[in-house]
């Protein structure tokens, strides 16, 4: 064996086994940051699902006895995270708030992702006029800073949960459309596409079963990071008072609107929902970063 042959042999031996996804998963498991991320998101999802079971109180139940001696009661054994200005248990509100953040985040990213996916695929695969019209529209949408676009939409639709989901989802559309279009354009020239076309596979199934699966990995990374941004943006809209109009709704951002005047007496009312937001956002960011590294083809095959 020549040296070159040995090198080729070694490369082959070290080459990843079992495809991109298994390889990515293997690398993701060795990334301590991503593991912490999975832990945080797992905790977040667990709390969101089991909120009714693990919450010690009804998140909307007011116990005015707790505010009889001024606002607000700090942490005690009965209320581990204290109680808010209306005597509602802060811990239960945080637990239920996880539901809102998770659902709003997932729904808005899914809305943005699916619309962006369709638009991006059409633009990237068809090209021509469709491409120009779609992408110029996306450019215009991107020329308004994200959160501001969301605020504009909520200002038009009126405050509320659904409106926030639509608004944050809309801001995600151009991001995903652009990403997928670029990804498809780079896949389109590949030999396997030419092969599929030459054996007569219809255009739509080339797109769906050959191009999309290969173009999807940057979308997954972006989707995870978009969840983090969506949770922050949703909380921001809630903080501005554009969230659910029922003030009893335990949404984390909305919980932060009222606390300004209690900063002196009850700073925990600001810190508790804020930390909850940071933990969930951090979780998604860690997973997103880990996925980006794991799915990076340049790093494939390495530990």
Partner 1 sequence: MLRFVVRRLLLLVPILLGLSILVFLWIRLLPGSPAQALLGERATPQLIKQIRHEYHLDRPLYEQYWGYLTTIAHGDFGVSISSRRSVAWEFGQRFPATVELALAAMIFAIALGIPLGFLAAKRYGGWFDQVSLVGSLLGISIPIFFLGLVLKWIFAVKLGWLPSIGREDVLATRPHPTNLYVLDAIIRGDGGALWDAIKHLILPAVALGSIPLAIVARITRAAVLDVQNDDYVRTARAKGLAPRIVDTRHVLRNALLPVSTIIGLQTGLLLSGAILTETVFDWPGIGTWLEAAIFNRDYPVIQGGLLFVAVVFVLVNLLVDVSYAVINPRIRVS
Smallest separation (angstroms) from partner 1 to the CB of 301? 21
141 scored as a contact of partner 1 (CB under 8 A): yes
Query: With respect to partner 1, which residue has the nearer C-beta, 132 or 205?
Result: 132
Instruction: Tell which one of 54, 78, 140, 194 touches partner 1 (CB under 8 A).
Output: 140
Determine if 136 is a binding residue for partner 1 (CB under 8 A): yes
Look up residue 232 and give its two tokens.
């922050």
Phi, psi of 89 (to 5 degrees): -70, 120
Binding pattern for the stretch 240-279 against partner 1, x by CB under 8 A and - elsewhere: xxx----------x--x--xx--xx--x--xx-xx--xx-
Do residues 157 and 168 touch, judged by C-beta distance below 8 A?
Answer: no
- The piece of 45-53, 59-67, 118-126, 136-144 that touches partner 1 (CB under 8 A) is 136-144
Candidates 113, 177, 232, 294; binder of partner 1 (CB under 8 A) is 232
DSSP letter, residue 264: T
Q: Considering only residues 281, 287, 294, 295, which one is a binding residue for partner 1 as defined by CB under 8 A?
A: 281
List % helix, strand, coil for the chain (3-state, nearest 5): 75, 0, 25
CB 159 within 8 A of CB 238: no
In the range 150-189, which residues lie near partner 1 by CB under 8 A? 151-158
- How far apart are the C-alpha atoms of 235 and 192, rounded to whole Å? 44
Task: Return the closest-CA partner of residue 272 out of 108, 72, 123.
Answer: 72
Give least dist CB 209 to partner 1, A: 35
Q: Is the dihedral of CA 62, 65, 66, 67 positive or negative?
A: positive
- Residue 210's CB is within 10 A of a number of other CB atoms, namely 19
Which residues would be at the binding site for partner 1 (CB under 8 A)? 33, 136-137, 139-141, 143-148, 151-158, 228, 232, 235-236, 239-242, 253, 256, 259-260, 263-264, 267, 270-271, 273-274, 277-278, 281-282, 285-286, 289
């Amino acid at each position: 064996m020549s040296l070159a042959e040995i090198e080729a042999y070694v490369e082959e031996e070290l080459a990843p086994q079992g495809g991109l996804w298994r390889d990515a998963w293997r690398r993701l498991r060795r990334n301590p940051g991503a593991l912490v991320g999975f832990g945080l998101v797992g905790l977040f999802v667990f709390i969101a699902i089991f909120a009714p079971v693990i919450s010690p109180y009804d998140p909307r139940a007011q116990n005015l006895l707790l505010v009889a001696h001024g606002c607000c009661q700090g942490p005690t054994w009965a209320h581990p995270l204290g109680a808010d200005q209306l005597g509602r248990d802060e811990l239960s509100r945080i637990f239920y708030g996880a539901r809102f953040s998770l659902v709003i985040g997932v729904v808005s990213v899914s809305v943005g992702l699916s619309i962006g996916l369709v638009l991006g695929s059409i633009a990237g695969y068809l090209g021509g006029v469709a491409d120009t019209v779609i992408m110029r529209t996306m450019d215009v949408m991107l020329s308004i800073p994200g959160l501001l676009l969301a605020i504009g939409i909520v200002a038009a639709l009126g405050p509320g949960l659904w409106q926030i989901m639509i608004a944050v989802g809309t801001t995600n559309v151009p991001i995903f459309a652009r990403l997928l279009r670029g990804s498809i354009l780079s896949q389109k020239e590949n030999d396997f596409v030419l092969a599929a076309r030459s054996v007569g596979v219809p255009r739509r199934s080339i797109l769906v079963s050959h191009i999309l699966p290969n173009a999807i990995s940057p979308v997954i990374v972006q989707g995870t990071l978009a969840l983090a941004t969506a949770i922050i943006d949703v909380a921001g809209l809630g903080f501005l008072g554009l969230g659910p109009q029922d003030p009893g709704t335990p949404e984390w951002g909305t919980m932060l609107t009222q606390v300004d005047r209690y900063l002196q007496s009850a700073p925990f009312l600001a810190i508790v929902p804020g930390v909850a937001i940071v933990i969930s956002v951090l979780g998604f960011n860690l997973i997103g970063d880990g996925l980006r590294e794991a799915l990076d083809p340049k790093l494939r095959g390495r530990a």
